[in-house]
Amino acid sequence: MRHTNARPIGTFPRTRIVRAGAAIAAIGLIAALVSGCGATENSAADASSGASRWTQPRTAWGEPDLQGVWRYEGAIPFERPAEFEGRELLTDEEVTERDRVEKEQAANRLAGLEGADVGRRSISESPIRGNEYNSFWQDHGRPRKVYKQTSLIVEPRDGRVPYTPDARKAEARAAARYGVGPFESFLDPDTGERCLTDGVTGMMWQGPNGGHNQIVQSPGYVTILHEEYRDRRLIPTDGRPHSNIRQWFGDSVGRWEADTLVVDTINFLDRTNYEWASIWTRPSETLHLVERFTRIDAETLEYKITVEDPTTFSSPWTAVIPISRLADDTRIYEYACHEGNYAMPNLLSAGRAVAAKQRSSN
Amino acid sequence: MRIGLKGAIVAIAVAALAAFLWSRVPPVAGQGEPYRAPRTADGRPDLSGVWQALNTANYDLQAHPARPALAVIPAPPRTAAPGLGRSQPVELPAEDVRALGAVGGVPAGESVVEGNEIPYQPWALAQKKENAEHWLERDPEIRCFMPGVPRATYMPYPFQILQSADAVLFGYEFAGTTRTIHLKEVKNNPAPTWMGLSRGRWEGETLVVDVTDFNDQTWFDRAGNFHSDALHVVERYTRVSPHHLMYEATIEDPKVFTRPWKISMPLYRRFEPAKRILEYKCTEFVEQLLYGRLGVVDPATGQTNK
The gap from C-alpha B45 to its chain's centroid, in whole angstroms, comes to: 23
* Chain B contact for A327 (CB, 8 A cutoff): no
**In chain A, whose CA is at the least distance from the CA of B140?**
A339
Work out the minimum CA distance from A240 to partner chain B, whole angstroms: 7
B123 pLDDT higher than 50: yes
Q: Are the Cβ atoms of A334 and B284 closer than 8 angstroms?
A: no
CA distance A219 to A14: 38
In a domain, B122, yes or no: yes
Q: Which residues contact B204 (CB under 8 A, 6 or more apart)?
A: none
Average pLDDT over residues A328-346: 94
Tell me, yes or no, whether B201 lies in a domain. yes
Which pLDDT score, from 0 to 100, does residue B79 have? 67
How far lies B240's CA from each of A54, A109, B110, in Å?
A: 43, 56, 21
What ipTM did this prediction achieve? 0.87
Residue contact B284–A196, C-beta within 8 A: yes
Using DSSP bridges, classify how beta strands B244-252 and B261-269 pair: parallel, antiparallel or unpaired.
antiparallel
**How deeply is A47 buried, as exposed, middle or buried, from its count of CB atoms within 10 A (0-12, 13-18, 19+)?**
buried
pLDDT per position as a tens digit, A51-82:
568 999 999 999 999 999 999 999 999 999 99
Q: Is residue A46 very low, low, confident or very high in pLDDT (cuts 50, 70, 90)? A: very low
- Residue B104 falls inside a structural domain: no
pLDDT in tens, A187-203: 999 898 999 998 999 99
For residue B31, is it within any domain? Answer: no
Task: Tell whether B68 is covered by a domain.
Answer: no
**CA proximity to B222, closest of B90, B128, B95:** B128
Which of B115, B110, B104 has the alpha carbon at shortest distance from B61? B110
Q: In the structure, what pLDDT confidence band is assigned to residue B73 with cuts at 50, 70 and 90?
A: very high
Please name the member of B48, B279, B294 whose beta carbon is closest to the beta carbon of A345.
B294
A window 252-291, beta carbon within 8 A of B: none
Three-class secondary structure of residue A83 per DSSP:
helix
> A-B interface: how many C-beta pairs under 8 angstroms?
134
Cβ(A146)–Cβ(A98) under 8 Å?
yes
A67, A240, A352: residue with CB nearest B164: A67
Q: Is A336 on the interface with B (CB under 8 A)?
A: yes
Residue B86 lies in a domain: no
Over residues A273-316, the pLDDT tens digits come to 888 878 898 999 999 999 999 999 999 999 999 999 999 999 99
Residue B162: which of A31, A221, A351 has the nearest Cβ? A221
Contacts of A27 in chain B (CB under 8 A): 190-191
| Mean of all residue pLDDT scores within chain A | 81
B296 min Cα distance to partner chain A (Å): 5
Residue A157 has phi, psi (to 5 degrees) of: -65, -20
pTM of the model: 0.85
Chain-wide mean pLDDT for chain B? 91
Q: Which of residues B123 and A116 earns the better pLDDT score?
A: B123
Range of the domain at B117: 49-61+111-291
Q: Tell if the CB–CB gap between A248 and B40 is shorter than 8 Å.
A: no
Residue A296, classed as helix, strand or coil, is strand
Residue of chain B with shortest Cα separation from A332 = B180
Chain A positions touching B298 (Cβ under 8 A) are: 185
Q: What is the DSSP letter of B82?
A: T
> What whole-number distance in Å separates Cα of residue A8 and Cα of residue A239?
36
Q: What is the pLDDT of residues B137-173, one digit of tens each?
A: 999 999 999 999 999 999 999 999 999 999 999 999 9
d(C-alpha B205, C-alpha B34), whole Å: 10
Is residue A196 less than 8 Å (CB to CB) from chain B? yes
Domain count, chain B: 1
- Kindly give the interhelix angle for A343-361 and B283-291, rounded to the nearest 10 degrees: 50
**B91 located within any domain:** no
pLDDT at B29 > cutoff 70: no
